Amino acid sequence: MVDKVDRIEAPPPYRVNEAREARDQQGQGRQPSQEEEKAEYKRETTSEWGKFHRQEITIQPTKVARQSIDRCYFCAALIRSGNPIVIVNIAWTNGRITEGAHILLSRIDDYFRLRHLRPGQEVPEEIWGETDPVEIGIPKALGGSGAIRMPGSSPEIAPPPMPMEKTPWGLIAAVLFAAAIIAIILFQL
């Protein structure tokens, strides 16, 4: 039938060396350099203490009256778990600004409309203000060490400026390069 069954070979039995043999064997091994020791120490300390320096961000849901929001400035549009969300900077009627607020959109079509906006452009009220209590989420940091600035932590911030048109640096560089080549050719004649 079966001649041999594949088995994992047992490790050799444990052997206790005499004190002199153990000391001699330790001396035979190579000793790590100072750089290796420092790298090992740094790796150990970062893995042990990293959990205290990490921060977790939670989103606190809030319902706000539609009349208290003056304007919303676009930051990003995304889909999380199949739900369309727009991230905006909210300008309140009392003059305060809340940065990075999440607004849950009721229609996926609004997400596709907002995807093409540039950061800083105003979001139309018919998109964010469909329901009277507007449901927003405000990111909050939990844990972590040190002073980490979170969106919405500063009481008053000026509304974001309208984005300026981008300068076509590639086109300018190509024109300058072509002008330099033409100048070289003309001076050689």
113 belongs to a structural domain: yes
151 belongs to a structural domain: no
179 belongs to a structural domain: no
98 belongs to a structural domain: yes
118 belongs to a structural domain: yes
Residues in contact with 164: Cβ distance below 8 Å, sequence separation at least 6, in sequence order: none
What's the structural domain count of the chain?
1
Range of the domain at 95: 55-143
**84 near 156, Cβ under 8 Å?**
no
55 three-state secondary structure: strand
CA neighbor of 150 nearest in space, from 138, 136, 140, 160: 140
CA neighbor of 67 nearest in space, from 138, 130, 132: 132
9 belongs to a structural domain: no
Q: What is the pLDDT along the chain (189 residues), one digit of tens a residue?
A: 556 666 667 666 666 656 665 555 555 555 556 777 777 767 766 655 555 566 677 888 888 888 888 899 999 998 888 888 899 999 999 888 888 899 888 888 888 888 888 888 999 888 887 777 888 888 887 765 554 454 444 444 444 455 556 667 888 888 999 999 999 998 887
150 belongs to a structural domain: no
pLDDT for residue 134? 85
pLDDT for residue 156? 45
pLDDT for residue 73? 92
Backbone phi, then psi, for 169, in 5-degree steps?
-65, -35
16 belongs to a structural domain: no
